[in-house]
């Protein structure tokens, strides 16, 4: 394997031949045999996908109205998502799961965890306030009963 499949290209006007390493496409297709090759152009906002069939990439037809590619081997897909990432709002190539939900970025996961922590804190505060109110209600009831007992004894 490796880069043993070098192309020989003639140098104009001489018999000298230079070796040119294979391009990315050839490396992925013929040497590494990567099962999927997906390309996204940020200039045209177009996604193209290819799958390896009999050692050659064949283009996968993508619906332009829903530009997504499902990769069954990893149970994930790649699609185009409009949103903000690293303070840039545009179309981005993004992973999605079997339910069609976008896979959260690290930042989104951190925000989700922070939101959950706030929710749990709010819930704990609410329960503590309820317990405090119940305790106060029981204290007043005990005082009332104690006062009633004193009246009956005296």
**Domain boundary assignment for the chain:** 104-154
β-partners of residue 60 are: 49
| CA–centroid distance for 144 within its chain | 60
R_g over Cα of the chain: 33
Q: Residue 97 in contact with residue 125, Cβ under 8 Å?
A: no
pTM for this entry: 0.64
Q: How far apart are the first and last CA of the chain?
A: 103
- Which residue is listed with tokens 């976008």? 102
Each of the 154 residues of the chain gets a pLDDT tens digit; together they read 444 454 545 555 555 667 888 899 999 999 999 999 999 998 999 999 999 999 999 999 999 899 999 999 999 999 999 999 889 999 999 999 999 999 999 989 999 999 999 999 999 999 999 999 999 999 999 999 888 888 888 7
């Amino acid at each position: 394997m490796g880069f043993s499949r070098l192309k020989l290209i003639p140098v104009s006007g001489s018999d000298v031949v230079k070796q040119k390493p294979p391009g990315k496409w050839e490396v992925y297709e013929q040497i590494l045999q990567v099962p999927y090759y997906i390309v996204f152009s940020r200039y045209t906002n177009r996604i193209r996908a290819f799958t390896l069939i009999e050692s050659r990439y064949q283009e996968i037809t993508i619906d332009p109205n829903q530009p997504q590619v499902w990769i069954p081997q990893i149970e994930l897909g790649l699609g185009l998502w409009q949103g903000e990432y690293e303070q840039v709002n545009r179309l981005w190539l993004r992973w999605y799961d079997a339910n069609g939900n976008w896979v959260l970025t690290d930042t989104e996961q951190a925000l989700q965890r922070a939101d959950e922590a706030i929710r749990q804190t709010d819930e704990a505060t609410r329960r503590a306030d309820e317990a405090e109110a119940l305790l106060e209600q029981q204290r007043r009831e005990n005082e009332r009963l104690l006062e009633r007992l004193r009246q009956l004894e005296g």
